[in-house]
Amino acid sequence: MPSIPERIRLAAESVPPPPPGPEWASYLGKVNQHPYKVLDSDIAALLAAGHSIRQIYEATVATAIQAGLHRLSRGLDALEQVRR
């Protein structure tokens, strides 16, 4: 049985990608790089473009988990380099 972090990673990767569009690229880039900059207006723009709150939620959570796991991996790699 996979570890909990592995199961979380697999679950995040199984979320279908959002439909292509510049509004998604901008929003998910912000979630990935600067999540503290996400505003209500970002969500409102996606809703106005016809996307459901469920699509927005799933894409947000999947992107945030993947970004967090990537940062964790980089941090663990850095610690491993220091220990050598």
Q: Render pLDDT for 10-49 as a digit per residue (tens, 0 to 9).
A: 777 777 777 778 889 999 999 999 999 999 999 999 999 9
pTM, rounded to two decimals: 0.76
Helix axes 4-13, 53-83, angle to 10 degrees: 140
Residues in the chain: 84
Q: How much of the chain, in percent, has pLDDT values that exceed 90? A: 43
Q: Please state the domain count of the chain.
A: 1
Mean pLDDT of 43-66: 92
| The predicted structure's pLDDT at residue 43 | 96
For residue 34, the enclosing domain spans 4-83
> In angstroms, rounded to a whole number, what is the distance separating the alpha carbons of residues 68 and 72?
6
What count of Cα atoms within 13 Å lies in the side-chain half-sphere of residue 6?
3
pLDDT in the model for residue 44: 97
Return the higher-pLDDT residue of 67 and 5.
Answer: 67
